[in-house]
Amino acid sequence: MNKLTLNIGLNNNPLSAEQIINHFKRNAGADILAFEEVVMEWGGEPEPTLVIEVNKEDESFNDKVLLELFIQELCYIYEQDAIAWELNGEGVLTYRSNYDGERGEFDVNYFKTISNN
pLDDT of residue 116: 54
Q: Is pLDDT of 48 > 90?
A: yes
Q: Specify the CATH number for the domain of residue 29.
A: 3.30.70
How high is the mean pLDDT of the chain?
88
Characterize 81-110 residue by residue with b for buried, 16 or more Cβ atoms within 10 angstroms of its Cβ, and e for exposed. bbbbbbbeeebbbbbbeeeeeeeeeeeeee
Confidence of residue 107 (pLDDT cuts 50, 70, 90): very high
Query: How many domains does the chain divide into?
Result: 1
- CA dist 36 and 113 (Å) reads 9
Give the domain extent around 43: 2-116
Residue range 12-43, pLDDT digits in tens: 899 999 999 998 888 777 789 999 999 988 77
Which residue type occupies 10? L
This prediction's pTM: 0.90
